[in-house]
């Protein structure tokens, strides 16, 4: 049975001030109702300031990144009326589409528009915090092109990546909110509201498909309704049945002249915007000859992908750069639970490391330790500009290129591990790897493992 899924996604734009006033958009970790003014609290007589230009430009950029056509006719701002304590004016200002008919991978994008976030209402205490009120949001509406929860999750992750790539949305993450429409072929469409994470969307879809299938099995017709996702229980619950219950009485907002986005502005934004991650991924696969998974991993963060291109340009060694980033850097930052951007690594210091490897001053083993060293220093607030031979020598990480020192360590290991020598002679090749490890330990990772292997083999003969 075919499943039909579509999303409406909201993400906060990362502007300094709110959409219709000069209050700051900081609402996390600040005292309630401190970043507010008469506009965003809807005091009598207050009017919206002209729309925040940064927010408009960001929305245009996001629409372009999603391959939308930008509307060049006047775009009206509508008032969407509903009564809720977090909505200070009793209506939300929401624009008509700024971009239309886009695509992200296989999913159609119906429209992209801009609106304002309401405040935060705590039903238990009855208190409202208006710090969030008026923060600009971009809303993205997809075509019902998604067929299962897994694809839905993939799409949302990809979209989130596109949004992060623009650098125009809140970087801390977790600000993405969505509604989803879901129906089984031939059945009524159910809208689920209140989803606050990609994981939540996946769970909500899973639950809803099961619910609708079960109803069908029992011969009960699925009715068109709006349901809320209850995150704590991972279920959906009915909000309202009839569409007419939510008549928002839309009118064009008389206080806000319609937006006009001209062709010159669109070209300007287009030429300055970053390559979309799904396009970058494809280009990486094609030009570097790497797998989809590898390309996905290293394009996940725009900063890393950009630095990799820089490093390739510096060293002219594609495979080494990609592998080092894909395996060593990725592993290390994930272990530290950091993003690449937070790690303090960059195209210059990573290029230095790669160059030291190439010139025979660093083993892969100690290159990893050097990476860790940079990250640890970053955590302590020390930024690493460059990595020089002097640096790694001081850290005791420089490779030992003197053969006699390595040979001395090999002899010591052979003397101390007679059991392993026996095993090797009985044909257990694992014993060789063990002894290589012992030599590496003795040399603190500074010996070249390939040379150690050669010397060991020679001595064991």
Where along the sequence are the contacts to another protein (CB under 8 A)? 38-39, 41-51, 79, 81, 83, 85, 88-91, 128, 244, 247-251, 253-257
Which residue lies nearer to another protein by CB, 81 or 336?
A: 81
Residue 427 CA: distances (Å) to CA of 411, 424, 454: 20, 5, 17
Q: What is the bridge-based pairing of β-strands 225-230 and 190-195?
A: parallel
176: which residues sit within 8 A by CB, 6+ positions away? 9, 10, 11, 156, 160, 163, 196, 197, 198
**Shortest Å, Cβ 53 to another protein:** 12
Which residue lies nearer to another protein by CB, 38 or 275?
A: 38
**Shortest Å, Cβ 319 to another protein:** 56
Identify any residues that bridge with 383 across adjacent strands, giving them in sequence order. Answer: none
Residue with tokens 């949001």: 137
Which residue lies nearer to another protein by CB, 91 or 324?
A: 91
CB < 8 Å & 24+ apart, contacts of 399-403: 399/360, 399/361, 399/362, 399/363, 399/366, 399/446, 399/447, 399/448, 400/443, 400/446, 400/447, 400/448, 401/360, 401/448, 403/451, 403/455
**Shortest Å, Cβ 96 to another protein:** 15
Dihedral (Cα; 302, 363, 327, 275), 10-degree rounding: 20
Which residue lies nearer to another protein by CB, 37 or 432?
A: 37
**Shortest Å, Cβ 103 to another protein:** 31
Which residue lies nearer to another protein by CB, 87 or 222?
A: 87
Which residue lies nearer to another protein by CB, 79 or 361?
A: 79
The rounded distance, in Å, linking the Cα atoms of 254 and 99 is: 22
**Shortest Å, Cβ 122 to another protein:** 14
Measured over the CA atoms of residue 439, residue 445, residue 446 and residue 452, the dihedral's sign is positive
Which residue lies nearer to another protein by CB, 250 or 310?
A: 250
**Shortest Å, Cβ 22 to another protein:** 9
Dihedral (Cα; 327, 330, 334, 339), 10-degree rounding: 180
Alpha helices in 66-197 (DSSP H): 149-166
**Shortest Å, Cβ 80 to another protein:** 10
Burial tier of 311 (Cβ tally within 10 Å: 0-12, 13-18, 19+): buried
**Shortest Å, Cβ 246 to another protein:** 10
Q: How many CB atoms lie within 10 A of CB 121?
A: 16
Which of 267, 277, 268 shows the shortest CA–CA distance to 65?
A: 277
**Shortest Å, Cβ 297 to another protein:** 46
**Shortest Å, Cβ 200 to another protein:** 29
Is residue 82 classed as helix, strand or coil in its secondary structure? coil
Per-residue tokens: 211: 């619910």
Is residue 219 classed as helix, strand or coil in its secondary structure? coil
Which residue lies nearer to another protein by CB, 185 or 247?
A: 247
The alpha carbon of residue 79 and the mean position of all alpha carbons in its chain are separated, in whole angstroms, by 32
Which residue lies nearer to another protein by CB, 113 or 161?
A: 113
**Shortest Å, Cβ 55 to another protein:** 14
Residue 17: enclosing H or E segment and its boundaries? Answer: none
256: which residues sit within 8 A by CB, 6+ positions away? 20, 48, 50, 51, 77, 93
Residue with tokens 């930052």: 333
Which residue lies nearer to another protein by CB, 7 or 130?
A: 130
Which residue lies nearer to another protein by CB, 133 or 443?
A: 133
Helices and strands in the chain: count of H runs, count of E runs: 17, 14
């Amino acid at each position: 049975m075919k499943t039909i899924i579509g999303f409406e996604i909201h993400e906060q734009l990362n502007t300094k001030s709110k959409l219709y006033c000069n209050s700051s958009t900081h609402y996390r970790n600040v005292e309630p109702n401190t970043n507010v003014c008469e506009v965003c609290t809807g005091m009598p007589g207050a009017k919206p300031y002209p729309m925040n230009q940064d927010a408009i430009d960001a929305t245009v950029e996001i629409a372009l990144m999603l391959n939308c056509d930008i509307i060049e006719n006047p775009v009206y701002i509508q008032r969407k009326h509903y009564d809720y304590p977090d909505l200070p004016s009793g209506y939300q200002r929401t624009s008509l589409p700024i971009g239309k008919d886009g695509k992200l991978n296989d999913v159609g994008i119906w429209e992209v528009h801009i609106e304002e976030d309401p405040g935060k209402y705590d039903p238990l205490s009855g208190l409202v915090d208006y710090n969030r009120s008026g923060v600009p949001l971009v809303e993205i509406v997809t075509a019902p092109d998604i067929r299962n929860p897994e694809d839905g999750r993939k799409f949302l992750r990809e979209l989130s990546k596109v949004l992060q790539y623009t650098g125009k949305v809140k970087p801390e993450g977790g600000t993405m909110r969505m509604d989803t429409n879901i129906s089984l072929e031939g059945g009524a469409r159910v809208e689920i509201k209140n989803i606050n994470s990609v994981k939540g969307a996946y769970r909500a879809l899973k639950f809803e498909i099961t619910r609708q299938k079960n109803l069908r099995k029992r011969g009960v017709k699925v009715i068109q309704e709006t349901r809320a996702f209850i995150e704590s229980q991972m279920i959906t619950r009915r909000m309202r049945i009839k569409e007419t219950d939510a008549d928002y009485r839309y009118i064009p907002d008389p206080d806000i002249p319609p937006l006009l986005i001209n062709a010159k502005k669109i070209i300007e934004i287009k030429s300055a915007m970053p390559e979309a991650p799904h396009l970058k991924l494809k280009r990486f696969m094609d030009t570097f000859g790497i797998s989809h998974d590898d390309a996905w991993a290293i394009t996940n963060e725009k900063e890393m992908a950009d630095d990799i291109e820089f490093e390739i340009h510096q060293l002219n060694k594609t495979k080494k750069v990609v592998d080092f980033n894909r395996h060593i850097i990725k592993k290390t930052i994930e272990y530290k639970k950091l993003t690449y951007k937070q790690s303090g690594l960059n195209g210059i210091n990573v290029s230095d490391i790669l160059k030291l490897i190439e010139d025979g001053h660093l083993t892969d083993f100690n290159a990893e330790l050097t990476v860790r060293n940079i990250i640890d220093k970053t955590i302590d607030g020390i930024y690493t500009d460059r990595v020089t031979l002097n640096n790694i020598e001081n850290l005791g990480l420089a490779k030992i290129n003197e053969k006699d020192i390595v040979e001395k360590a090999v002899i010591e290991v052979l003397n101390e591990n007679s059991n392993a020598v026996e095993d090797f002679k009985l044909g257990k090749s694992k014993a060789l790897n063990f002894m290589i490890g012992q030599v590496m330990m003795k040399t603190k990772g500074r010996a070249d493992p390939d040379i150690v292997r050669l010397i060991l083999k020679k001595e064991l003969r």
